[in-house]
Structure 1
Amino acid sequence: MKYIVILGDGMADYPLAAYDHKTPLQLAHKPYIDQLVKSSETGMVQTIPEGYPPGSDVANMSVLGYEPEIFYTGRSPLEAVSLGVDLREKDIAFRCNLVTLSLEENYGDKTMLDYSAGEITSAEAALLIQEISKEIGTEEFHFYPGISYRHLMVWINGAWEFDLTPPHDISDRVIGSYLPKGAGSDVLTRMMIKSEEILKNHPVNQKRKELGLQPATSIWLWGLGKKPNFTPFVNKYGLEGSVICAVDLIKGLGICAGLNTPHVDGATGGVHTDFLAKAEAALAELKAGKDFIYLHVEAPDEAGHQGNAQEKIGAIEKIDELVVGRLLRGLEEMKEDYRLLILPDHPTPISIKTHTAEPVPFLIYDSRRNVSSGINRYTEEEISAQGNFVKSGPALMAKFIKGE
């Protein structure tokens, strides 16, 4: 038996007034998923525990079957694991975004124009982070390049009690009231302000402006955390598996869980990722003997943060055609029994451009069973109306794998 989770990050949404009050899942043409849902177990699952922020870190940890109440120590340590950074017990990791701020003279008066600096390329970003490290890195503060706009800072023996805001939560807002808070947080704010001076005239940014692209005008520090300690997935659920992803956060989760995390050429973590390459990588892992696949696609979430309904609808349609469709054909060719779990980790509504904590719709399809769900399309409205509810991501993973 093969077990495959297909997670469309942020895929759930609110009804859109400009689209006849329908959600992207209702608007998207997704024949493969809609055919599966007719013969699947369906329901809503609460992936975010009460009191936890509705981030992709908490949500994906939950869906992967790990209780955030037990295993969560912060977002950035998971990304550190992915980047090969060995955190010591007292080290504190921070997500270090490259962002685009407006041009007001006073830093606190600036507006968050783009939390991703125009989805800056990894090659460009590496040069900028290298310059940041050269100018403000010390024996105490270390900077590491990641993918696109997502990077890492480690504070050796650092402080911990800060209130930090994700930049994607404050798109189009003045940043002053969202700057780091807490005793000693001024050291973080000073680095962010200094980074603007360093990046202002960097050749990478000059070139991007010439091309009409957003420059990376500042770093933004958030998502702090300490070194995590996970129970291996094989010990928890009895399966050897792989995580197929493009972002360091999800790769870090996979590594912490003892799962394989192969590199996928063309997978970017953005809306222009290579969807088909992810499906092919998943099939390759299954053919190599893995029994569990966690296939993560970031694109719907990115479109949600950008407030771009058409991009989000298109991302869902590509997941259906290029990921689900390809996997179904590949599994049929392999002549293996399989179970599919399809769901988002959390909603990322177009209207507010950030994550929310509401339950999300799931389907579980079993190739051995011909059942009727009574559901015609995989949408928030239809599945929610059915009334089936699962209390947590780990409870859903247990249901998916163990039938509990």
Structure 2
Amino acid sequence: MKYLVILGDGMADRPIESLGGRTPLEYAKTPKMDELAAKGEIGMVHTIPDGMKPGSDTANLSVLGYNPREFYSGRSPLEALSIGVPMKDTDVALRCNIVTLSEEDNYEDRTIIDHSSGEISTEECAVLLEAVKKELETDIFHFYVGTSYRHCLIWENGEVVDLVQPHDVLGQKIGDKLPENEALRTMMKKSYDILVNHPINIERKKKGLNPANSCWFWGAGTKPALYPFTERTHKQGAMISAVDLLKGIAVGTSMKVITVDGANGGLDTNYEGKANAALDVLTKDGYDFVYVHLEGPDEMGHQGSVEKKVKAIERLDERIIRPIAEGLAEAGEDFRMVVLPDHPTPISLRTHTADNVPYLLYDSTAERSENWHYNEREAAQTANFIPEGHKLIEYLLQM
């Protein structure tokens, strides 16, 4: 038996008037997910422990079977693992987004326009971060390049300070959202001066693209301590994701990290490459379990684009779930697959919530005949509910 998690990051939502009171998942054309739902099981799962912030970090740990109350030490340390940052026990890692701010004279009066700087490429952003690093790196603060707009700052002998997530305050003035820590606040301000007239940003503005003009620090945490995925599940697992956070979780849990060329965490990622990699690792490399993560629905939710979020969900169905399910069947492999979001990213809010999310569980050896479609409304109508998200993996793996 092969086992899969197909995770559409932020895919769940709330009813939207322009979609006739439906969610993007309800509205999207998802024939393969609906086919599997009719032959399988749908229900709701609570992935974010009560009282914890609804982030992809806590939620994906939960989906993989790690109770965030026990194993969560911050988001950035997981990303640091992914990019090979050597963390000491006394280090604090922080996420360093390169964001788009408006250009008022006073830094505090500026507004966060885009937390991802128009999904800027890693190549461009690496050059920008190098300019910041040249001016701001010290014996205490060290910058490391990640992926796209997502980078890392290591603070030696630092503090786990409370910091604001940029995607939580899109469109808002930043004055009261800045770090209380003077060193961090000063570096953010100086980064704007370094980046605002950088040749890359001048060229981006000429092309009508959002400039990547300021660092934004958040997600502070200490070195994580996760046990290997195989230790409890007795399954050899692999991770397929374009996002450093998920790769870091995989590194921390001793899962195989599969890098797919052209996978960028955006709407136009390499879907086919991810699907083929999942099939290869299960049918050719002998792995038991694969976790396929798609960032697109979440990014489109943060952008507030109904049309693009629907498109991201449809591409997930047509270009990931369909070829994987059909490829495993053609290879003669029995499999159990769960499809779900980690958390909702409602278009109306442009940030995460801790609402329950719908899951779809399909077992090729135990097909049913139901009349369900896979969406939030119908999943909530069933009696199926998993109140502790970290136990979903036990259900999938039949532990």
Q: Give the alignment's TM-score, normalised by structure 1.
A: 0.97
The aligned counterpart of 1:338 is 335
Q: SS state of the match for residue 84, structure 2?
A: coil
The aligned counterpart of 2:224 is 228
The aligned counterpart of 1:200 is 196
**Any idea what the Cα deviations from partners look like across 1:295-315, whole Å, max 9, x if unmatched?**
000000000000001101001
Q: SS state of the match for residue 261, structure 1?
A: strand
1:316 equivalent in alignment to 2:313: yes
| 1:60 positional shift | 0.5
CA distance in 1, matches of 2:206, 2:36: 47
**Any idea what the Cα deviations from partners look like across 1:324-345, whole Å, max 9, x if unmatched?**
1110121012101100000000
1:366 equivalent in alignment to 2:360: no
| 1:17 positional shift | 1.2
Q: Is residue 164–residue 221 contact of structure 1 (8 Å, CA) maintained in 2?
A: yes
The aligned counterpart of 1:47 is 47
| 1:12 positional shift | 0.3
The aligned counterpart of 1:295 is 292
Give the counterpart letter for 1:340 in structure 2.
Answer: M
Q: SS state of the match for residue 300, structure 1?
A: helix
Give the counterpart letter for 1:366 in structure 2.
Answer: D
Q: Is residue 42–residue 373 contact of structure 1 (8 Å, CA) maintained in 2?
A: no
CA distance in 2, matches of 1:309, 1:48: 24
**Any idea what the Cα deviations from partners look like across 1:347-399, whole Å, max 9, x if unmatched?**
00000100000110001111001223442x10100110113110122211111
CA distance in 2, matches of 1:114, 1:46: 29
Give the counterpart letter for 1:198 in structure 2.
Answer: I
CA distance in 1, matches of 2:168, 2:269: 23
| 1:209 positional shift | 1.2
The aligned counterpart of 2:164 is 165
Give the counterpart letter for 2:179 in structure 1.
Answer: P
Correspondence 1:242-261 to 2 at 5 A: 242-261=238-257
Q: Is residue 13–residue 347 contact of structure 1 (8 Å, CA) maintained in 2?
A: yes
CA distance in 2, matches of 1:47, 1:308: 24
CA distance in 1, matches of 2:328, 2:197: 52
Q: Which runs of 5+ in 2 are unaligned?
A: none
CA distance in 2, matches of 1:282, 1:392: 27
Correspondence 1:389-400 to 2 at 5 A: 389-400=385-396
CA RMSD of aligned residues (A): 0.9
Correspondence 1:32-181 to 2 at 5 A: 32-160=32-160, 162-181=161-180
The aligned counterpart of 2:349 is 352
CA distance in 1, matches of 2:19, 2:33: 21
CA distance in 2, matches of 1:32, 1:225: 39
Q: SS state of the match for residue 116, structure 2?
A: coil
Task: Please identify runs of 4+ aligned residues in structure 1 that moved more than 4 A.
Answer: none
Q: Is residue 16–residue 23 contact of structure 1 (8 Å, CA) maintained in 2?
A: yes
Give the counterpart letter for 1:88 in structure 2.
Answer: K
| 1:317 positional shift | 0.5
**Any idea what the Cα deviations from partners look like across 1:7-44, whole Å, max 9, x if unmatched?**
00000000001221110011100100000001112210
Q: Give the alignment's TM-score, normalised by structure 2.
A: 0.98
2:233 to 224, 237, 254: 237
The aligned counterpart of 1:2 is 2
Give the counterpart letter for 2:172 in structure 1.
Answer: R
Q: Is residue 10–residue 304 contact of structure 1 (8 Å, CA) maintained in 2?
A: yes
The aligned counterpart of 2:379 is 383
Q: Paired residues, what number?
A: 398
| 1:199 positional shift | 0.5
